[in-house]
Amino acid sequence: MQPLRVLVIDDSPFVYKAMKRAVEAHGHSVIGHAENGQMGLELISQLKPDIITLDVTMPIMDGLQVLQRLDHEKIDKVIMISAMGDMELLKQAKEYGVRFFLNKPFQPEDVIHAINEILTGER
Amino acid sequence: MRDGIYEFIEGYLSDMFASVTGDIFNSTLTESAIGLSETSDRRFVIILGLAGQYKGRIILETSSNTSDILLQRMNFGEPVLTLQEQNLFLGELGNMVGGKFITALNNSFRGLELRLTPPIVFSGENLSVITPEIESIVRYFSTDCGIVRIDIGIEGVKPWLNLENF
Amino acid sequence: MVEFGEFLSTALMETLSMFGLRVERNSTIVSETLSSSSDVNVVLGFTGDARGSIVIALPKKTASAISTIMIGSEEVNTMAKSAFAELSNMIAGAAISKSTGLMNLTPPSVVTGENISLMISRVKSTNMEFNLNGSPLTIAFALE
């Protein structure tokens, strides 16, 4: 499998490191890290990642506000990350077309499983 | 006040905290009868507010020795050196514990709709945290990083008003 | 953000004046984090249409001055802390009620100690400084 380029959009350095370890252990790479949604949108446009991990709750611009500004092709690459398990927020994310969700804390294998599901969907 | 919330919290707290600590830093955990020692050592306190149908707060407290070990575990073996980074990591720990807790409560009690407010991280000596008018459930957990105190208080949830205790 | 600050500032001055305490507004500082090193801090959070935190920070001298007026003792004991919590609830509640959007406040927690460091990172915060008869008092808030 071609190594994938992953963009992490999350204001937590812990989540960024955990995601980096999970992703790099399976031969993929984290190509960027945005600490808020606004920076995330800029990096999506510049770096054109294969996979986007997106936190729900962030300062300046949150995950749902990012989704409002993405087209369907990019939303298909999104894994939404949440600590809250907020059913209402997750429901809204689903309405935007997000198919993959992870609750914090997550296991590395959960991240890889979500990435594989995204790839399977694309083939 | 909704029936059963107190019992649910009591029953769930151990499992919830164990699953978060196990996932984050691979730590085993047992409920401890021993609390934090009464010294003036530096402590860390994480406060998360709860709002929704009921109001309350979750407080996590630990000694600075324990938080150093815990932070290093969260940072995959590297020490967390700056106060700002310590704040971010501990805040995230608070978010994860709080998030798991309110997810379980919201899923079990329809319409509760509890939300977390951003975590506030304090450190200091001789720290005291009180939330007037709120009775709380306090538990100590012994991890291989040290002892962590969890204090959960929700308005209207009073142990001694539980009719099953009479 | 500016508007919420004004609501908080007005609420603080009006609430304290109910107890005969006159405060003067000094400076307003916007910073990259919300932090405090005061001896006495009252913290409240809010969620809903906006999510954030409010901190009222007092050095011991100011806390004692308020405590003397409110409960007749300068000792910052449990009763004084309850009084601070109640004051903070009134101030925050008044500001929230004037704001557009629906927001829920959490109960206030009073944190005291020595060599305190409080931080909420990564969100811009507004710190409004006041003077209570020569004693400083700060009310700060951060919106996510």
Chain-centroid distance of CA A86 in Å reads 17
- What span, in angstroms and rounded, lies between the C-alpha atoms of C123 and C32? 6
Closest by CA to A89, choosing from A121, A114, A62, A109, is: A62
Touching subunits of C (3+ CB pairs, under 8 Å) are A, B
For range B69-90, the mean pLDDT: 89
Contact A57 C122 (CB under 8 A): no
Q: What is the pLDDT of residue B166?
A: 30
Residue B122: φ, ψ to 5°: -115, 150
Domain B5-158, CATH number (from 3.40.50.1240, 3.90.180.10, 3.40.1550.10, 3.30.70.1060): 3.40.1550.10
ipTM of the complex, rounded to two decimals? 0.90
Contact B48 C45 (CB under 8 A): yes
- The class (CATH top level) of C2-143 is alpha beta
Q: B17-36: per-residue pLDDT in tens? A: 777 777 766 667 777 776 77
Q: Give the model's confidence band at B60: pLDDT under 50 very low, under 70 low, under 90 confident, else very high.
A: very high
Closest by CA to B102, choosing from A88, A66, C105, C123, is: A88
Is residue C106 packed enough to be buried (19+ CB in 10 Å), middle (13-18) or exposed (0-12)?
A: buried
Contact A104 B106 (CB under 8 A): no
Are B16 and B104 contacting, i.e. CB atoms less than 8 angstroms apart?
Answer: yes
Contact C111 B47 (CB under 8 A): yes
Query: Considering only residues 17 to 76 of chain B, which have any Cβ-Cβ distance to chain A shorter than 8 Å?
Result: 20, 23-24, 74-76
β-pairing, A78-82 vs A51-55, is parallel
Question: Domain A5-122 is of which CATH architecture?
Answer: 3-Layer(aba) Sandwich (3.40)
Q: What b-and-e string marks burial along B38-47, b requiring 16 or more CB atoms within 10 Å of the CB? A: eeeebbbbbb
Name the residue ranges covered by the structural domains of chain B: 5-158
Residue B83 scores a pLDDT above 90: no
For range B51-71, the mean pLDDT: 90
Instruction: Give pLDDT tens digits along chain A (123 positions).
Output: 689 999 999 988 888 988 999 999 999 999 999 999 999 999 999 999 999 999 988 888 989 999 999 999 999 999 999 876 567 778 899 999 999 998 887 888 899 999 999 888 764
The DSSP H or E segment spanning B2 is none
* Of B75, B99, B116, Cβ closest to residue A17: B75
Q: Identify the residue with better confidence: B10 or A9.
A: A9
* Of B118, B124, B131, Cβ closest to residue C114: B124
- The DSSP string of A65-99 is HHHHTS-HHHHTTEEEEESS--HHHHHHHHHHT--
Q: Is the peptide bond before A105 cis (omega within 30 degrees of 0)?
A: yes
- Judging contacts by C-beta atoms under 8 Å, the chain A residues touching residue B96 are 83, 104-105
Name the residue ranges covered by the structural domains of chain A: 5-122
Contact B134 C47 (CB under 8 A): no
Q: C69-118: per-residue pLDDT in tens? A: 888 999 999 999 999 999 999 999 999 888 888 888 999 999 999 999 99
Residue C107: φ, ψ to 5°: -65, 150
Where is average pLDDT lowest: C52-66, C82-96, C116-130? C116-130
The DSSP H or E segment spanning B13 is helix B5-25
